[in-house]
Amino acid sequence: MTKRTAKAQIVNETGRAIKVATLNHKYSDNYKNHKTFGSIPDGEASDFLSVEYNTGFGTTGRDWWLATWQYDEKEVFFTNPNNFRAAFDWAEGQVNSLFASVKDIPDELTPAVNIASKAFNSESTKGFKQHILRSEDSGKVVKITLKKDGKVVITSPSGKSETVYSSKEIKK
């Protein structure tokens, strides 16, 4: 078994400027990686999140990905594979009562961060899209591209995965 790392980033192709975004990566129960990003203008990419994973004989782990973002204080957007509804319903109830101490992010933009934080700290992979990293991804870039048409495309040297995203109004 070989421990490897790659660099992941969010690419904004939504047609709108993102004010805050988060990216979560889980490699089964072995590794958890999370980063909150500030502004990502349309057509640009975020900084990198370093992610850890294993390859080789005897590995049974899987890579799981979750992105959340906000354009404004009215809605939170999130990757939404078929396995996410129950987790989001639960997290939705937490949005108004959770106020994480997030530096440099206004209170009205904390719902995306709070949802990601709850999902990250849970052992569940509900809401996460599977995109498995291979040895050829080591040291390379994984792009999580948010599209205008409601799709999210995850690409790495070893392949491509697609899912969709949804949004939820933030109740004040």
User: What are the 10-residue block averages of pLDDT along the chain, 172 residues in total?
Assistant: 97 97 90 94 98 91 93 90 56 42 54 57 72 97 98 98 92 74
pTM: 0.79
pLDDT given at position 98: 37
Architecture per CATH, 2-169: Sandwich (2.60)
pLDDT given at position 79: 92
pLDDT given at position 116: 57
Measuring CA to CA, how many Å separate 122 from each of 50, 71, 168, 169, 171?
Answer: 20, 25, 21, 23, 24
Tokens representing residue 79 in the block = 């990757």
pLDDT given at position 90: 46
41: β partners: none
